[in-house]
Amino acid sequence: MTPGNTGEEKKKAGGLFTNKLFWIIAGASLFILVGFVIPTPRSMIDLVTEHGFGKQMIDWHVASDMNQAAWKLKLVLGMIPMAVIYFATEALPIGLVGILMPTFAYFFHLLPKKMIGETFAGDAPLFLLGVLGMGVTVISVGLHKRLATWILGWTKGFAMPIIVLCVSMSVLGSFISAHAMAAFMAPVMAAVYMGAVSAGNRGGTVRHDPQLAKLLLLSLCFALNVGGVGSPAAGGRNVIMMGFWGDYNVPMSFGRWMMYGLPLAPVLGLAVALYMLFVFRKVKTKDLTPGLVAIKEETQRMGPMRYGEKVALGMMIVILVLWIFGGHDLGLGGPALLALIIPVVFRISDWKKILGGISWDAWFMYCGALTLGALLKESGAALWLAQIFLTALNALNFGSGLGLWVGMSFFSGLMTNFMSDAGTTALLGPIAIPMGIMSGVPGEPWAIGLATAFSTSFAHFLIVGTPNNAIVYGLGLYPDTGKRMIKPIDFLKYGFVLWIISLSLTWVVEFMGIFHIIGFPAGITETAKAVLMTTGQ
């Protein structure tokens, strides 16, 4: 039996949602409405004029005056609902939607041609390409089965393996590249799934359980996402925020960040587990033990680690070490590319096999998301949205303390689903920190900075929100058929509610609990305010 719905089930689940032509027209219509029908608001013209976006576009020769610069900002905003509809409904192949982003940027002359090309050939695209290639090699040599035994082999039942997975991944994701863990663990989840559904089958027929496949892969993905709060090592966004604090003479140490963030990581990981177990409580395969036992037995039959496995494991360790200690010189892309070279040089995989196994759909999709993120930042569209939101916060008297922390975390959590977490932090940090300082609330600007950075870890509901989502989607394949185990709409379907849960727990556990329990050093607000006043003069 092939995975997924039968033909009759597809008919029952059909209707408007499966009408791809409808959604193609709907996405295009929204783009035309926002970009060409609705007049350009005066606030957009003022923003590109006052903040230099218009002058930058004129210098780049992509706009002739401020009015045209503001119109191009509006065009970028029109691309957002179109892209969300296309990504979520798969009205067009997601890789093709990714290609649409630079195509629009070229034809509407939204950025200089060189900058558009760089979004498809920068460090991040090369990083994802290498990670997807690494996943292909890990599967081809069988190392994923041994990894499954090492990590989950001691667990039993149904709930316990999921809880252990989510809590351990949230903590590990605080210190080790979550993107790397996604690449290592996605094949592991596929192996656990296959072992569980194959247990007890007769005659070699596999009766697939698509809900179980989604439970395992999405639990992994979401748990790794929330681990980003735990320490500065979890991602560039945290380091960026620490840099902003340093600019105001109130630097935060690595250990101090962990005091605020690390206790929250397992709480969020446990929440992911409980939520996913509740949502997928009707899965057919209620016991993962047979699958885990089957993988352990298969691993035992494999005997000692073979040459291919040793090379693959060594490759993973080397790349991980280079990611951690390579610094800015190597970036993420440089070490990741070794995953395309080492398997071929050491003859553990074939070059064509690696290329054939890479999910190019996921790669093009993510590159397109990077282009959209660059357009949001460089056109001023992201700043315009931020100003609208912050004005609304002030109107609701949420301009300081808990209200400001909640508001900024909500907005940063929303924005990070549309642009990179580092880009979101880099955009909102310079806005949020002065607001926190001027509020005079003790603990600023650390509190508002943590609120902003923490929420950029919650890119749950759009497949383009983080490389974790793209990697799990790209590597999550049924081992026997090669078909995808999850769809882009699954991120929205299951991730949106979890996004709300993640934010709510951060507000209650972190802002109303940990902030008060640990407290903030005396005098940091006054020190930062003195720097702000000096800068203003």
For residue 333, the model assigns a pLDDT of 83
Contact 133, 350 (CB under 8 A): no
Separation CA 520–CA 230 (nearest Å): 18
Residue type, 109: H
**C-alpha count within 13 angstroms, C-beta hemisphere, residue 463:** 33
pLDDT tens profile 386-417: 788 878 877 887 778 899 999 999 999 998 98
Contact 260, 405 (CB under 8 A): no
Angle of helix 143-152 relative to helix 289-302, nearest 10 degrees, comes to: 130
| pLDDT tops 50 at residue 13 | no
Between 176 and 474, the more confident residue is 474
Residue type, 285: T
DSSP code at position 520: -
pLDDT grade for 521, boundaries at 50, 70 and 90: very high
For residue 261, the model assigns a pLDDT of 95
- What is the secondary structure of 4-69 as a DSSP string? S--HHHHHHT-SGGG-HHHHHHHHHHHHHIIIIISPPPHHHHHHHHHSSHHHHHHHTTS-SSHHHH
Separation CA 407–CA 496 (nearest Å): 17
14-23, 64-73, 405-414, 430-439: the lowest-pLDDT one: 14-23
10-19, 241-250, 368-377, 402-411: the lowest-pLDDT one: 10-19
- What is the secondary structure of 323-382 as a DSSP string? HHHSHHHHTTHHHHHHHHHHHHHTTSS-HHHHHHHS-HHHHHHHHHHHHHHHHHHHHSHH
For residue 331, the model assigns a pLDDT of 75
For residue 200, the model assigns a pLDDT of 59
**What percent of the chain clears pLDDT 90, i.e. is strictly above it?**
45
Contact partners, residue 29, CB within 8 Å, separation at least 6: none
CA distances from 266 to 37, 71, 311 (A): 48, 45, 32
pLDDT grade for 535, boundaries at 50, 70 and 90: low
pLDDT grade for 289, boundaries at 50, 70 and 90: confident
Separation CA 471–CA 180 (nearest Å): 9
Q: Is 63 left (phi over 0), alpha (psi -120 to 50) or beta?
A: beta
For residue 203, the model assigns a pLDDT of 59
Q: Is 315 helix (H, G, I), strand (E, B) or coil?
A: helix
Q: Is 153 helix (H, G, I), strand (E, B) or coil?
A: coil
- pTM of the shown model: 0.79
33-37, 137-141, 261-265, 459-463: the lowest-pLDDT one: 137-141
- What is the secondary structure of 175-238 as a DSSP string? TS-HHHHHHHHHHHHHHHHHHHHHTT--TT-----HHHHHHHHHHHHHHHHHGGGS-GGG-HHH
